[in-house]
Structure 1
């Protein structure tokens, strides 16, 4: 125990800082146990003060979260989509995070770190929505304080038993690490199996391309377009005429549209996951002529940009102008 105690006494703040920085940067490094131990050691004469530990935690959070903020500000939706593409819950990752931030705004940063998977995505959303940087820093620091406070207070509560805890960890730590590692590996395997099963199931939902959608709209026979992305108080661009519908909203939200009506559902998530989930639900309910939009809103937006570029080039080409006349 002496070596472990000496390591924590001499480098406790550095270990807390590095573990929090790594976790907030997105690495699978749990920082809560280190903060718990730091809280317990803060009650000993040789341990770091609780104020110093809080300063280390908040500093690490602000460094990592500022990087996520500017990444979101610079890269926007593609970065968010890339993060969620490797998420264990790709069907809800973007939609839930966007919905939370759009509804609550930067105040969501106060409790975002308490929600699994929402911390980095919420800070990226702050950058994407152009939240003022100082406002972001204030709420993010407050969120770091709330997040760290629970672990530190729990550590303070067991400070009288810290010697026993450290002795047990020194004696049985390797066994605990093996057990925890095995449990974590089983958890990851289970989540990946759930993800694979969901991807396989929703992959059976037919897709409609954006070109086909625009062709139908141009021909005067447009399908009902349903927007299943996150919605909040902030304005959001959508396909013209799209019906806004929550993923689990009652089917009465479709109004007078009959099951024979063509329906196209779109989202802004990897594999059109949310759109496919709603499309599957509609098809089971009898709306058999339902598709998910391939590529989602981002693909539709790219098509509009390409068509706009072609139109601009044609308007600036004298040969094409003469042919048109």
Structure 2
């Protein structure tokens, strides 16, 4: 395997550390292939030990995740929106990750890294919900071990296959490298295409501004039903007064008591009002034509509530998740 084998033997731990650090920091650098190779090399006398690789992985994860933790603690909801805005995952990842963390608490960190797009969001949620730092470190380190353990174990089991791949890379270095880069580029393009399609589809759903909502609530004879599609859980969550909580994929018949000619306004707290637009799309298809997504979502309403003279937002008061 020549130069490639020598590079991996001599700098394997360094490559593992920096690839994991880059991925956990949010860069589109897949660390799993490197862990897979590290697991295979651990079977060789010159390769790094499993214990050393796990130490490098946990150290890299704790460094990156601690930064996300304090960013979430300091910046709160805007931090989550920023992560999803630059992510190639759908914008609904905010709602999904919030819901997961609010239901399970810091224990969700044990398996969050196994879920696409949930790693950085979950660590930011830990900071937002004031999870004790030592509790966060414990579950995050455990999650790093679980996340890395699977790839290392697979590398050990399929070590002969990995050796064959490394030999091919050494023999056809430039061609193999271009194939890997090309495959990764196609994957990124596919994910962006999926997101573009979803944005284009939900962009057809009409938006209602906060000012229009307040005016319509004051003047409408049919009434305005405001739906909150954000994450629900055991932690206190501010809501627009009078809003009805409805899960994104909840049965539409939950609104059977509402008049179909009423005005429905759905809000979320995600970029592009994605979750709100998805539910509004379902409602329109189910026979509720007067349905809008709230432009800017809850954050825009929160920003304008003082000028509008709105009452304080409703707050669900319930115990925090276990582990807080």
TM-score normalized by structure 1?
0.90
Over residues 180-213 of structure 1, what are the superposed CA-to-partner deviations in whole Å (9 max), with x where a residue is unaligned?
3222222322322222222222222111111122
- Paired residue for 1:7? 7
Deviations 1:263-302 (A, max 9, x none): 1110111111111111111111111111111110000001
How far has the Cα of 1:34 moved from its partner? 1.4
Greater helix fraction, Structure 1 or Structure 2: 1
Structure-2 residue corresponding to 1:270: 271
Q: Which residue of 1 aligns with 2:300?
A: 299
- Cα deviation, 1:77-100, whole Å, max 9, x if unaligned, reads 112111212333334211111111
Partner SS, residue 48 of structure 2 = coil
Structure 1 gaps, min length 5: 310-325
Aligned in 2, Cα 1:304/1:175: closer, same or farther, shift over 3 Å? same
Q: Is the 8 A contact 1:90 1:270 kept in 2?
A: no
Counterpart for residue 246 of structure 1: 247
In 2, distance between residues paired with 1:28 and 1:89? 12
Match of 1:34 in 2: 34
Find the counterpart in structure 1 of residue 280 from structure 2: 279
Q: Which residue of 2 aligns with 1:97?
A: 97
The reply on whether 1:209 has 2:209 as its aligned counterpart is yes
Match of 2:226 in 1: 225
**What is the TM-score when the length of structure 2 is the normalising length?**
0.90
SS at match of 1:291: strand
SS at match of 1:288: coil
Query: Residue in 1 aligned with 2:86?
Result: 86
Q: Against the structure 1 CA distance between its residues 47 and 192, is the aligned structure 2 distance closer, same or farther, given a 3 Å change threshold?
A: closer
Aligned to 2:114: 114
CA distance in 1, matches of 2:174, 2:243: 56
Q: Say which one has the larger Rg.
A: 1
The 5-angstrom pairing of residues 145-224 of structure 1 reads: 145-159=145-159, 163-219=163-219, 222-224=223-225
Q: What secondary structure is seen at the aligned counterpart in 2 of 1:82?
A: helix
How far apart, CA to CA, are the structure 1 residues paired with 2:16 and 2:87? 26
Contact 1:24–1:61 (CA<8 Å) still a contact in 2? yes
Q: Over aligned residue pairs, what C-alpha RMSD do you find?
A: 1.8
Summarize the Cα distance change of 1:150–1:173 in structure 2 as closer, same or farther, 3 Å threshold. Answer: farther
Larger RCO of the pair (alpha carbons < 8 Å, separation 6+): 2
Q: CA–CA distance in 2 between the matches of 1:56 and 1:305?
A: 49
Return the alpha-carbon distance in structure 1 between the equivalents of residues 154 and 40 of structure 2: 8
Aligned length: 309
Judged with a 3 Å threshold, the aligned counterparts in structure 2 of structure 1 residues 20 and 91 are, in CA distance, closer, same or farther, namely closer
- Does the Cα contact within 8 Å between 2:266 and 2:276 map onto a contact in 1? yes
The Cα shift of 1:29 comes to 1.4
Taking structure 1 as reference, are residues 160 and 293 closer, same or farther at Cα in structure 2, changes over 3 Å only?
A: closer
Distance 1:251 1:298, change over 3 A: same
Quote how far apart the aligned CAs of 1:74 are.
Answer: 0.7
Instruction: Give the whole-Å Cα distance in 2 for the aligned partners of 1:100 and 1:118.
Output: 9
1:3 Cα shift?
Answer: 1.9
CA contact (8 A) 1:90 1:269 kept: no
5+ residue gaps, structure 2 = 311-324
1:163-193 Cα deviation digits (max 9, x unpaired): 5443222113432322232222223223222
